[in-house]
């Protein structure tokens, strides 16, 4: 088994692995990882074939995100996942990044615990399956564009909520699907915002932030109206009863649990109390 830095030539191999795991990422998502961190994404090769991946993204030198820890089902339980994770940690240690975070699947959690990650909070994946919708996205897109000032306010608020600036990542989502970025204002104050992206089999809402249910509801309903996909995904914070209730009453069903985990000092926890849903386990 040989570990090396991932390049854009490896994207088809990364797509093959995420497909085998039933994940929702696209080539655009792999490009986001490699653009954000060209030296910080890794592949494991067996007989010159890519059989495993791991990505890292640093957010403002405050903390780094580890994602896309994937091993081909044929090559599991041979230590490849552990080696990939150790390589990602070694890379981040070299960058003097003392805090690392990730969202663990139940399968990945024991591996992360062995390497010093501890649980921060719970996340639940909720999924909506619905009949095909009329495609209204193109019609809507011009009408719903945000002003640069509005987008700036959203990015500033997200920095507070997430704990670090991730505007390049959020801007790339906005550029790809501008009509999926929404905000709610009251008396000139931002009450909530949401982004979403197109995945390979589902549209995925997040981050979704709201001060209260009055702000949370139109953002979720806006996403339901603007997407034409039959499958929709939301990774909701287990502690956010308002968001969970909205999902339930909108027809979503619980799918699985994720655990937000941290390694090292958690000096930038953000403000998760107003967060309804994360961007996604691979991005934070
Ligand atoms: C989670 C995942 C990445 C683990 O990859 P992996 O290569 O199987 O991981 P490892 O081999 O390093 O460790 C897994 C197990 O194999 C064991 N193992 C490690 N080296 C071994 C070896 N040489 N021989 C036999 N078993 C070994 C480990 O002890 C561990 O067992 P345990 O869980 O009972 O303690 C892989 O299962 C996967 O891709 N799952 C789907 C995607 C996913 O959930 N990813 C995690 C995202 S958070």
DSSP string, 64-100: EEEEEEEE-GGGTTSSHHHHHHHHHHHHHHHTT---E
The answer, yes or no, to whether any atom of ligand 1 lies below 6 A from the CB of 77, is yes
Residue 190's region, left for phi above 0, alpha for psi from -120 to 50, else beta, is beta
Residue 189, pLDDT > 90, answer: yes
The answer, yes or no, to whether any atom of ligand 1 lies below 6 A from the CB of 28, is no
Domain boundaries, the chain: 2-98, 125-277
Q: Which residue blocks in the chain are alpha helix, DSSP H?
A: 11-20, 27-36, 80-94, 109-114, 137-141, 148-162, 167-176, 213-226, 241-249
Instruction: Summarize the confidence of residues 33-56 as an average pLDDT.
Output: 97
Instruction: Give me ligand 1 centre to Cα 43, in Å.
Output: 15
pLDDT tens digit sequence for 70-122: 999 999 999 999 999 999 999 999 999 999 999 999 999 999 999 999 999 99
Q: Is 247 helix (H, G, I), strand (E, B) or coil?
A: helix
Instruction: Give me ligand 1 centre to Cα 21, in Å.
Output: 14
pLDDT band at 13 (very low <50, low <70, confident <90, very high): very high
pLDDT tens digit sequence for 210-231: 999 999 999 999 999 999 999 9
The mean pLDDT of the chain is 95
- What pLDDT shows up at residue 72? 98
Residue 137, pLDDT > 70, answer: no
pLDDT band at 134 (very low <50, low <70, confident <90, very high): confident
**What residue's CA is closest to ligand 1, atom 40?**
70
Residue 139, pLDDT > 60, answer: no
Q: Is 220 helix (H, G, I), strand (E, B) or coil?
A: helix
Architecture of 2-98 per CATH? 3-Layer(aba) Sandwich (3.40)
The answer, yes or no, to whether any atom of ligand 1 lies below 6 A from the CB of 88, is no
Q: 44 forms bridges with which residues in the sheet?
A: 3, 52
Q: Which of 73, 78, 119, 284 to mutate to test the pocket of ligand 1 (most atoms within 8 A of CB)?
A: 78
Tokens of 183: 């905000």
**What residue's CA is closest to ligand 1, atom 15?**
77
Architecture of 125-277 per CATH? 3-Layer(aba) Sandwich (3.40)
CA distance 95 to 92: 5
The answer, yes or no, to whether any atom of ligand 1 lies below 6 A from the CB of 71, is yes
Give the other-Cβ count within 10 Å of 7's Cβ: 11
Check for a shared fold between 2-98 and 125-277: yes
Instruction: Give me ligand 1 centre to Cα 183, in Å.
Output: 41
Instruction: Give me ligand 1 centre to Cα 114, in Å.
Output: 11
The answer, yes or no, to whether any atom of ligand 1 lies below 6 A from the CB of 69, is yes
Instruction: Give me ligand 1 centre to Cα 272, in Å.
Output: 30
- What pLDDT shows up at residue 132? 82
78 contacts: CB under 8 Å, gap ≥ 6: 1
- What pLDDT shows up at residue 248? 98
The answer, yes or no, to whether any atom of ligand 1 lies below 6 A from the CB of 257, is no
The answer, yes or no, to whether any atom of ligand 1 lies below 6 A from the CB of 67, is no
| Contact criterion met (CB below 8 Å) for 61 and 100 | no
Give the other-Cβ count within 10 Å of 79's Cβ: 13
CA distance 123 to 74: 29
**CA-71 nearest atom, ligand 1:** 39
Give the other-Cβ count within 10 Å of 123's Cβ: 23
Residue 229 Cα distances to 97, 199, 222, 233, angstroms: 39, 10, 13, 10
The answer, yes or no, to whether any atom of ligand 1 lies below 6 A from the CB of 62, is no
pLDDT band at 266 (very low <50, low <70, confident <90, very high): very high
**What residue's CA is closest to ligand 1, atom 16?**
77
Instruction: Give me ligand 1 centre to Cα 81, in Å.
Output: 5
Instruction: Give me ligand 1 centre to Cα 182, in Å.
Output: 39
- Predicted model pTM: 0.94
pLDDT band at 141 (very low <50, low <70, confident <90, very high): low
């Amino acid at each position: 088994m040989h570990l090396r830095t991932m390049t854009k030539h490896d994207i088809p191999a990364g797509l093959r692995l995420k497909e085998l795991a039933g994940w929702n990422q696209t080539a655009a998502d792999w490009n986001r990882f490699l653009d954000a961190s060209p030296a910080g994404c890794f592949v494991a090769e067996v007989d010159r074939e890519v059989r495993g991946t791991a990505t890292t993204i640093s957010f403002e030198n405050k903390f780094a995100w580890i994602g896309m820890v994937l091993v081909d089902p044929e090559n599991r339980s041979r230590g490849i996942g552990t080696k990939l994770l150790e390589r990602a940690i070694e890379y981040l240690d070299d960058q003097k990044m003392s805090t690392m975070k990730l969202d663990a699947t139940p399968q990945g959690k024991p591996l992360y615990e062995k390497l010093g990650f501890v649980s921060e909070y719970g996340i639940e994946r909720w999924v909506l399956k619905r009949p095909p919708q009329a495609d209204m996205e193109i019609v809507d897109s011009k009408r719903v564009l945000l002003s640069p000032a509005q987008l700036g306010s959203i990015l500033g608020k997200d920095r507070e909520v997430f704990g670090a600036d991730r505007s390049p990542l959020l801007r790339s989502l906005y550029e790809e699907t501008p009509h999926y970025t929404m905000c709610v204002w009251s008396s000139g104050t931002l009450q909530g915002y949401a982004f979403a992206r197109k995945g390979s089999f589902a549209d995925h809402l997040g981050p979704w932030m709201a001060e209260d249910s009055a702000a949370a509801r139109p953002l979720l309903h806006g996403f339901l109206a603007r997407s034409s996909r039959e499958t929709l995904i939301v990774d909701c914070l287990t502690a956010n009863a308002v968001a969970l209730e909205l999902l339930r009453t909108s027809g979503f069903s619980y799918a699985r649990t994720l655990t937000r985990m941290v390694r090292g000092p958690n000096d930038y926890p953000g403000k998760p109390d107003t967060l309804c849903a994360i961007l996604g386990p691979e991005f934070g």
